[in-house]
Amino acid sequence: MTIYSASWVVPVTRPPIPGGRVAIEGRHVSWVGRPGDPGEPRGRVHDLGPGVLIPGLVNAHCHLELSHLAGLAERAPAGFVPWVESLMAERGPGSAEEVRAATRRAIRQLESTGTVAVGDVSNALAHLDLLEESHLRVVVFYELLGWDPGRAERILAGAADVMALAARPELRTRVKIAAHAPYSVSPALMAGIVRRGGPAAMHLAESPEETRFLAQGDGAWRAFLGRRGLGHVPFEAPGVSPVAHVDAMGGLREGMVAAHCVQVDEADCALLARRGVFVAVCPRSNQGLRVGMAPVRRLLAAGVRLCLGTDSLASAPTLDLMADMALVQSQFPELSPEVVVRMATLGGAEALGLPELGAIEPGRSAELAFVPASGAPPDPLRFLTSGAAQAGPLPA
């Protein structure tokens, strides 16, 4: 058994514990409390010193296979559609080895910044072995996209083959079927994904260009489809919001992880809550692409379950989830830091279906993180969202 002590323990499911201790047996937490509390186990105490012991962070939306495109948001011309075009242009040329090396570095970056689990969106599933070698728990969202409805059945058949290969029982990584976005997945393809129990995740209501395309069928996205040779595809704009459009296609599944949800009004928020959708807020990605910021308070008020994601290095500067916590807090200063910390831990664990993570409690996983401080912080939750806090793995 190992017993850790720190200036604070933040269990998430109960108030922070000053001078708290956490006992670990094997891979699980066996006891949490203060010295002298009932049931305190005996054993050597490993004092972590000034700082905060927290559950390992859960990054609910990331694309590790895009890590070789780091810095794209700064390089690409301004605007969401030019960024997508730059991404498509730069994505192809990288050699498989470059892509894998960048993916390996990105995994190390997640591990070194206190993240223990990730919702990883992938089109290629070419890095499952790297995920397996890592310390991370990973739910891979195998993402389909295709605007031409004539290709939907072929895409679905190919996906079934790939997913059958990825569903090997010896793999820790789970693979779930996902959709890219309402502006890149034809209604025919979405119907097929829904028939197969998906989408487990998708991008939703990210940019004003998406909202406009679904409302009126025109704008920068329509022009982009034309440049991609898809101008002939018949599409009658539904004239509703992205959230309402996906719901009408049966896509708002209970437990789905919807990334972004920046362009949402009150009715959208109520619908997301009613359908039991998790929203992965990705604030630094949204800032990088200048699409706005998810209305976190409105989503919470509607009862939407929130988690936090970095998104890929093609839109966010790093994969350090603490930086996203800090940005949410600075954008919504009146928001309780407890809510922000919950998004990055328990909220993500619930969204990814990992009930052993997200909180420090007896029976839960011992995958924790430590956030050192120069002295004992007076308010640990506020410290965690201050922008000055840096999480890392527990010292061995």
Contact residues toward Zn ion (CB under 5 A) are 311
Is 7 or 312 the residue whose CB approaches Zn ion more closely? 312
The amino acid that residue 61 corresponds to is H
Please report how close the Cβ of residue 55 comes to Zn ion at its closest, in angstroms. Answer: 24
Is 66 or 360 the residue whose CB approaches Zn ion more closely? 66
Is 61 or 245 the residue whose CB approaches Zn ion more closely? 61
Is 285 or 329 the residue whose CB approaches Zn ion more closely? 285
State how far the Cα of 39 lies from the Cα of 3, in Å rounded to an integer.
Answer: 13
24 Rama class: left (phi>0) / alpha (psi -120 to 50) / beta: beta
Please report how close the Cβ of residue 59 comes to Zn ion at its closest, in angstroms. Answer: 11
The answer to whether 254 and 276 are in contact (CB under 8 A) is yes
Is 311 or 367 the residue whose CB approaches Zn ion more closely? 311
DSSP category for residue 41: P
Q: Return the number of other C-beta atoms located less than 10 Å from residue 160's C-beta.
A: 13
Closest residue to Zn ion: CB criterion: 311
The answer to whether 207 and 291 are in contact (CB under 8 A) is yes
Q: Are strands 45-47 and 2-5 parallel, antiparallel or unpaired?
A: parallel
Please report how close the Cβ of residue 309 comes to Zn ion at its closest, in angstroms. Answer: 7
Tokens of 245: 């459009």
The amino acid that residue 86 corresponds to is S
Please report how close the Cβ of residue 392 comes to Zn ion at its closest, in angstroms. Answer: 25
- The number of residues in the chain equals 396
State how far the Cα of 318 lies from the Cα of 154, in Å rounded to an integer.
Answer: 36
Please report how close the Cβ of residue 315 comes to Zn ion at its closest, in angstroms. Answer: 7
Is 111 or 311 the residue whose CB approaches Zn ion more closely? 311
Is 257 or 360 the residue whose CB approaches Zn ion more closely? 257
State how far the Cα of 276 lies from the Cα of 306, in Å rounded to an integer.
Answer: 11
CA-angle at 214, arms to 210 and 217, nearest 5°: 105
Is 286 or 365 the residue whose CB approaches Zn ion more closely? 286
Is 268 or 311 the residue whose CB approaches Zn ion more closely? 311
For residue 199, cis peptide bond before it (omega within 30 degrees of 0): yes
Please report how close the Cβ of residue 282 comes to Zn ion at its closest, in angstroms. Answer: 7
Please report how close the Cβ of residue 127 comes to Zn ion at its closest, in angstroms. Answer: 16
State how far the Cα of 273 lies from the Cα of 264, in Å rounded to an integer.
Answer: 12
Please report how close the Cβ of residue 36 comes to Zn ion at its closest, in angstroms. Answer: 47
222 Rama class: left (phi>0) / alpha (psi -120 to 50) / beta: alpha
Which ranges in the chain belong to alpha helices (H)? Answer: 72-75, 80-91, 96-112, 128-133, 152-166, 187-195, 208-216, 220-227, 242-248, 266-275, 283-288, 296-302, 321-331, 337-342, 348-351, 380-384
Please report how close the Cβ of residue 355 comes to Zn ion at its closest, in angstroms. Answer: 24
Question: Residue 306, SS3?
Answer: strand
Distance between start and end Cα atoms, the chain: 13
